[in-house]
Amino acid sequence: MEKKLDKLPIHIAFIMDGNGRWATKRGLPRKMGHRKGAEVLEKIVEHCFSLGIKYVSCFAFSTENWKRPKEEIDYIFGLLREYIKKQNQKGQQQQEQEIKSKNIKIRTMGDLSMMPKDLEQEILKAEERTKDCDAFVLNIAMNYGGRDDIVHAFNTLIKQGKTIASEQDISNALYSGGLPDPDFIIRTAGDVRLSNFMLYQSAYSELYFTKTYWPDFTAKHLNKALKSYAKRDRKFGQLK
Ligand code: IPE
Ligand code: IPE
Ligand code: MG
C-alpha cells in the first residue's frame, strides 16, 4: 500500500521529456525511448489514480514537434494510436463488468484536425465512450501549444460572439476548459523550461524539474516529487 501523502495536487501535469536521450545513451534508436516512455505513462497514470489524484495532464506532442523527422513523428503517433486503442479495449471490458464509475475519462488538448484521421477517430471514440466517467481524468496534450491554445480560445469566443468579461471566460474557452488549473507541473530530463505547455493555466502552478529521463521515471520518483509539493507554501499573492 502507498504511504499516505498529505497535500496532494488535485491536478498534476507532466512534461514527459528525455525519451530520445534515454535511448541514445543506450545506443538505441530514439523511437525506443518513445516506446518505453509510453509504458511509463501507463504506469504513472495508474499510480496517480491509486493515490487519489483526480486529474492528470501529459504533454505527448507539441505544436513545435512537427519540426522533427517524419519517421519520428509517425512513430509517436503510432504509439498514441496504440495507447488510445488499448484504453478503448480496456474500457469496453470494464463497461461490460459494470464498473464504469471506476473508469478513466480521456480528454485531449490540441488541434486534432492535423493528426492522422484514424488516430483522430480513435480519440473521438475514446472521448465519447468515457464522457460520463468521473472517477479520474486523463488529459493528453497532442499537437498542443500553450500559445495556440490561447489563439484557439479567442477565436472560439469571437465565433460565439462572446466578450471577454473575466479571466475565467478565457479559461473556459481553452482546450482544458472545465478542468482546474494544474497544481503541480513536473518536467523530466533536466531542462528547466515550459516549452509552450499550458501557459495560461500554469500561472500559479508549482513547478518541479528532475534530471531523470521520462523512461526512467517511476512511482518512487513521483512520490519524491509529491513530497516536495506537500512542503510548499502556496500563497497566491497573499501574505501568510
Ligand atoms: C519527449 O522526449 C517526447 C516528445 C517530445 C514527443 P524527447 O523526444 O524530446 O527526448 P529528448 O529531449 O530528445 O531526449
Ligand atoms: C516538450 O519537449 C514537448 C513534449 C514533451 C511533448 P521538447 O523536447 O519538444 O521541448 P524542447 O524542444 O526541449 O524545448
Ligand atoms: Mg525533448
Ligand 2 center–CA 100 separation, angstroms: 34
Amino acid at 229: Y
What's the 232 CA to ligand 2 centre distance in angstroms?
26
Which residues, 6+ apart, have CB-to-CB distance to 195 below 8 Å? Answer: 15, 17, 59, 62, 64
3-state secondary structure of 117: helix
Domains of the chain: 11-229 (3.40.1180.10)
Ligand at shortest distance from the CA of 30 = 1
The residues, any chain, with a CB within 8 Å of residue 28's CB and separated by 6 or more, are none
Residues 108, 124: Cα–Cα separation, whole Å: 9
Local confidence band at 240 (pLDDT 50, 70, 90 cut-offs): confident
> How confident is residue 6, by pLDDT bands cut at 50, 70 and 90?
confident
What is the percentage of the chain residues whose pLDDT exceeds 90? 87
Residue 94 pLDDT > 90: no
Where residue 1 falls among pLDDT bands split at 50, 70, 90? very low
pLDDT value at 114 more than 70: yes
Distance CA 197, CA 219 (A): 23
> Quick one: how far is CA 18 from the chain centroid?
16
Cell matching residue 150: 490561447
- Relative to the CA of 64, which ligand 2 atom is closest? 9
Per residue in 190-225, pLDDT tens? 999 999 999 999 999 999 999 999 999 999 999 999
Residues at CB less than 6 angstroms from ligand 1? 16-21, 61, 65, 76, 189
Place of cell 526512467: 216
Average pLDDT over residues 48-66: 97
Distance CA 214, CA 194 (A): 15
| Residue type at 184 in one-letter notation | F
Indicate whether 90 pLDDT > 90.
Answer: no
Q: What is the mean pLDDT of the chain?
A: 93
Question: How confident is the model over 16-35, as a mean pLDDT?
Answer: 98
Q: How far is the CA of 17 from the centre of ligand 1 (A)?
A: 5
Cα–Cα distance measured from residue 240 to residue 118, given in angstroms and rounded to the nearest whole number:
51
In our burial notation (b when 16+ CB lie closer than 10 A, e otherwise), range 211-236 reads ebbbbbbeeebbeebbeebeeeeeee
pLDDT at 4: 57
For the annotated catalytic residues, the residue numbers are: 17, 65
Pocket mutation for ligand 2, best pick of 30, 65, 75, 213 (most atoms within 8 Å of C-beta): 65
Do 179 and 231 touch, CB atoms closer than 8 A? no
Name the closest-CA residue to atom 11, ligand 2.
195
